[in-house]
């Protein structure tokens, strides 16, 4: 369901676009929120056209198909935003390693947390470059805040590990 919503949202925000365009947008502006490759996007657009949420225009150069959101698509997007309580459920490999840290001896645990921190900082650098237009700015702020919080956690945890039996 959420893939549909993300696609409708992009079409609504940037206007008519091809599957190829949408895949790029996913990669560049939506990647900290949702991920989808072209292999997932193309078939989904076909289904959405069948369901009347988007219009597939006639083929352009190189077989390009430009999709446009329909009024029904816009309605369903709006309805989802207003009615759907987002699930707070998270599946997080970083948190899983955090959970399992006590299984390791001190030096291994430190190495693991250092690596986590490096990964988070790399991602923070990436996100900081990606300045959103008006669109996506709320989500970007949220993403940055969460990364900073996670990095803060790595620092506290490293201090804690180094304190214990230093």
Partner DNA sequence: ATGTACATGTAATGGGTTACATGATTCT
Partner DNA sequence: AGAATCATGTAACCCATTACATGTACAT
Q: Residues in the chain, how many?
A: 166
Cα separation values, 51 from 1, 39, 69, 82, 105, Å: 13, 19, 12, 21, 55
Which does residue 141 touch among DNA, a second copy, none (CB within 5 to 8 A, set by kind)? a second copy
Q: Which residues have a Cβ under 8 Å from the Cβ of 17 and sit 6 or more positions away?
A: 10, 11, 25, 66, 67
Quote the CA–CA distance of 148 and 160 in Å, as a whole number.
18
Q: Under the rule (CB under 7 A), what is the footprint of DNA?
A: 1-3, 18-21, 24, 35-40, 42-43, 45-46, 60-65, 89, 91
Which does residue 20 touch among DNA, a second copy, none (CB within 5 to 8 A, set by kind)? DNA
Q: Shortest approach of a second copy to residue 3 CB, angstroms? A: 10
Which does residue 159 touch among a second copy, DNA, none (CB within 5 to 8 A, set by kind)? none
Kind and range of the H or E run holding 56: strand 54-56
For the chain, report the end-to-end CA distance as a whole number of angstroms: 50
Q: Shortest approach of DNA to residue 41 CB, angstroms? A: 8
Residues that bind a second copy (CB under 8 A): 2, 5-6, 9, 12-13, 30, 32-35, 77-78, 81-82, 84-104, 108, 111-112, 115-116, 119-120, 123, 134-139, 141-143, 145-146, 148-150, 152-153, 156-157
């Amino acid at each position: 369901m959420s893939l549909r919503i993300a696609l409708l949202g992009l079409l609504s925000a940037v206007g008519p676009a091809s599957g190829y365009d949408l895949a790029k947008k996913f990669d560049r502006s939506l990647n900290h929120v949702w991920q989808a490759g072209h292999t997932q996007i193309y078939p989904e657009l076909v289904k959405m056209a069948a369901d009347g949420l988007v219009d597939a225009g006639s083929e352009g150069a190189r077989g390009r198909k430009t999709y446009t959101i329909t009024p029904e698509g816009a309605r369903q997007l709006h309805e989802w935003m207003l009615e759907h309580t987002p699930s707070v459920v998270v599946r997080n490999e970083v948190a899983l390693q955090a959970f399992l840290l006590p299984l390791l001896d001190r030096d291994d645990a430190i190495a693991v947390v250092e690596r986590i921190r490096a990964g988070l900082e790399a991602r923070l650098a990436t996100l900081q470059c990606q300045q959103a237009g008006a669109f996506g700015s709320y989500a970007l702020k949220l993403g940055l805040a969460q990364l900073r919080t996670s990095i803060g956690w790595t620092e506290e945890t490293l201090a804690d590990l180094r304190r214990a039996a230093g």
